[in-house]
Amino acid sequence: MARPTLSSMLPGIIAAIAFILSLFGGVYCKFLSFTTNGNGGNTPITLSFGIWYYQGWSLVESSIQGTVLLESCMNYPDGVNIDSKWRSARAFSTMTLIIGGVVTFWALLAGCLYPSKQTYKAGGMIYMLCCLFSGLSLLLLDSNACNSVMTTLQDQTQDVNLTFPSSCAMAAGAKCAIAATVMWFVAAIAALKVDPPERSPITVETHDVTYTKTTGADGAAMVSENVVKGEPIAVGGQEKAEEAV
């Protein structure tokens, strides 16, 4: 059985990278960020939030280190106003992970499933759809996320001398979403261009056998056999299946 080549597995490998980037950008709580203005000599604090969660801190009691402050991703409180663009970013991010994840898993198994060229092209079109969905998850940049989160934080930190800026900046999650959009597009082009893994043809070996009967001096009959090895003939495999179709 022929081993899949690197070029034939390239769409699945690129799609796997795109999926990891989409997962990081969609689930991680550092999609956008803003840094507080240090007033009165206070050290500026950088706060981050994502499509589904925001960056928070929690106190953990440790028997060795005592009370430890840990950074964690938390659900948004009920007071956060999520507009239509924010909800759309959540929907498109989820569809990218579900659809892209299923097709990527299938593409990575192409070396065992041996899909046809048309099936590979169909996978490329789905990758292109994931590229669109991943790009639309950036709608969070144009949503009310910054204003809503900052308003909620200001209400919760009235006793703390913190001043929040009026705009947000892209954090690691947003940059990963942009990179994932590019990688989904590259995976789509690769699936449309390269040939899928091919199964080795199943062959049978042919022989030409000649029997010669001779009579000896004593009158006894003798039969001799002459075997000539022929060329292997393909009786199955991917090429044969395509011809049958």
Q: Tokens representing 21?
A: 């980037």
Q: CA-CA distances (angstroms) from residue 105 to 14, 17, 111, 122, 197? A: 12, 12, 12, 15, 15
Report how far residue 162's alpha carbon sits from residue 142's, in angstroms, rounded to the nearest whole number: 25
In the predicted structure, residue 209 carries a pLDDT above the cut 80: no
In the predicted structure, residue 156 carries a pLDDT above the cut 60: no
Spatial CB neighbours of 114, under 8 Å, sequence gap ≥ 6? 196, 197, 198, 199, 238
Q: Tokens representing 131?
A: 């590229």
Spatial CB neighbours of 148, under 8 Å, sequence gap ≥ 6? 80, 81, 82, 83
| pLDDT tens track for 71-104 | 788 888 777 788 889 899 999 999 999 999 999 9
The pLDDT-based confidence of 217 (bands split at 50, 70, 90) is: low
Give backbone dihedrals phi and psi of 65, rounded to 5 degrees, phi first.
-100, 0
Q: Tokens representing 64?
A: 């060795």
Which amino acid is residue 230, in one-letter code? G
The pLDDT-based confidence of 1 (bands split at 50, 70, 90) is: very low
The structure tokens 């999609």 sit at 31
Contact 107, 122 (CB under 8 A): no
| pLDDT tens track for 12-60 | 899 999 999 999 999 888 888 877 765 555 567 777 888 998 887 766 7
Report how far residue 159's alpha carbon sits from residue 100's, in angstroms, rounded to the nearest whole number: 45
DSSP string, 92-137: HHHHHHHHHHHHHHHHHTHHHH---HHHHHHHHHHHHHHHHHHHHG
